[in-house]
Structure 1
Amino acid sequence: MSGPTRVRLTDEGPLLVDGPVEVVGADGSVVRSDRFTTAICTCRRSRTYPLCDTAHRRRERVTGPGD
């Protein structure tokens, strides 16, 4: 029996899911990844959405007053 699936939250980046994973989109489409760890996009900038392609790294950081 295997343990629970580990999902890691990252600052300003994707969700990291350990093990093979199937991601079901809002439209019902299914994307399967057999990778040891899969990065799930949370910024919606990825060209391979719902999988992360690190597009979040290319965005400019906006700073406000006092930053």
Structure 2
Amino acid sequence: MPNVDDEPSPTRVTLTRDGPILIEGPVEVVLDDGRVVRSDRFVVAICACRRSRKYPWCDTSHRRRTPASAARKG
């Protein structure tokens, strides 16, 4: 019977509302063109809105986006 202490701990992924996906690092990300990028940070922010100039890493560009509900009221 395997010892529970020998099992690797799962990687924690946190989804944030209107923001990036946070992943406990280090991580490697495979891009749609097949390139692999790596971050050795202890928490990595992955862009979910594709507005980042540093994609796939989040550069907080999502903060400048106008919420859809506010745009409809105007």
Name the TM-score, length of structure 1 as normaliser: 0.89
Partner of 1:26: 32
Structure 2 gaps, min length 5 = 1-5
SS at match of 1:35: coil
Alignment coverage as a number of residue pairs: 65
Partner of 2:41: 35
Is 1:16–2:18 an aligned residue pair? no
Partner of 2:61: 55
Q: Where does structure 1 differ by over 2 angstroms across 4 or more consecutive aligned residues?
A: none
Kindly report the root-mean-square deviation, in angstroms, between the aligned alpha carbons of the 2 structures.
1.2
SS at match of 1:42: coil
Structure 1 gaps, min length 5 = none
Q: How many angstroms apart in 1 are the aligned matches of 2:43 and 2:18?
A: 18
Partner of 1:5: 11
Larger Rg: 2
Name the TM-score, length of structure 2 as normaliser: 0.81
Q: How many angstroms apart in 1 are the aligned matches of 2:10 and 2:45?
A: 17
